[in-house]
Amino acid sequence: MKLRNSLLLLITATIWGTAFVAQSVGMDYVGPMTYVCARSVIGMIVLLPVIAVLNRVGPPRAAETPEERRKGRKTLVIGGVCCGAVLCIASCTQQLTLLHTTVGKAGFMTACYILVVPLIGLLFGRRCGLKHWCSVAIALAGLYFLCMTGGGFSLDLGTLLGLCCAFLFSCHILVIDHFSTRVDGVRMSCIQFFVSGILSLPFMFVLETPRLVAVAAAWMPLLYAGVLSCGVAYTLQILGQKNVNPAVASLILSMESCFSVLAGWIILGERLSFRESSGCILMFLAIILAQLPDKNNG
């Protein structure tokens, strides 16, 4: 089960890594709020027929009392609303970050949730061993080599937005960790996209001037992000995080930065420098170290 869930998270990171380009290209046509709203709506629409099929072919549910069903629905709605609200704010912040800094810096700062997640977890009694902290340190070094290919940090708007983004996505990971074992992952994912779309809708009209022609011109990056990044990847994240330490989950998900570089190398023919190759190797070593069994577990 642990191996299966880790593989689901790795697939999620792969999809997110390739979708990073779609996020940047999409904003050549539409604003960040319009992009988030459109991709959220597409993600919700994609999951509706999946839920319908699961209702038909899924295994029969165990006998539940009306009170248990009511509590289950309440937990599902609360989980979906919480995930959707955090996801909406985090996604909008990430899109705004891409407007004010390079893709590499945005990717590095966003992936700093690998450090923020275990730190927040300490406040809720989720302690990590020395092995996990070593993995975080190695992964941060790898991310720096991978993403920070030119220049350093400066305290500008892009940096502040990127650090906020890391904190928000850390919250999203921890909220999913809280609800993923209590509710159906596909249904909660559908609700979170509905909430994300609804919350971003008023900001789309107040802060931007969305035009149908522009949305139609951005159909390819929007469709890719909506179907794969939202409908598939975020659902796999919820399913994959079940019974997985959130610190370990954040490490695996941070591989999106590595896969974005590899996708550019394989698909676009971009050159992979020695520095970037070293970053990828360090990232893979960090993930392998985090997956090694603890001594006390045999």
pLDDT along the chain (298 residues), means of 10: 83 83 78 91 92 75 74 93 95 85 70 80 76 82 73 67 88 90 90 95 90 88 88 89 83 80 67 77 77 54
Q: Which residue has the tokens 């809708």?
A: 201
For the purposes of burial, counting CB atoms within 10 Å of the CB of 99, is it exposed (0-12), middle (13-18) or buried (19 or more)?
Answer: middle
The pLDDT, as a whole number, for residue 278 is 83
- Listed residue (245, 253, 5, 242) closest to 139, CA to CA: 253
The pLDDT, as a whole number, for residue 148 is 67
The pLDDT, as a whole number, for residue 152 is 57
Signed CA dihedral, 67, 73, 76, 78: sign only: negative
Q: What is the DSSP string of 70-84?
A: HHHHHHHHHHHHHHH
The pLDDT, as a whole number, for residue 97 is 84
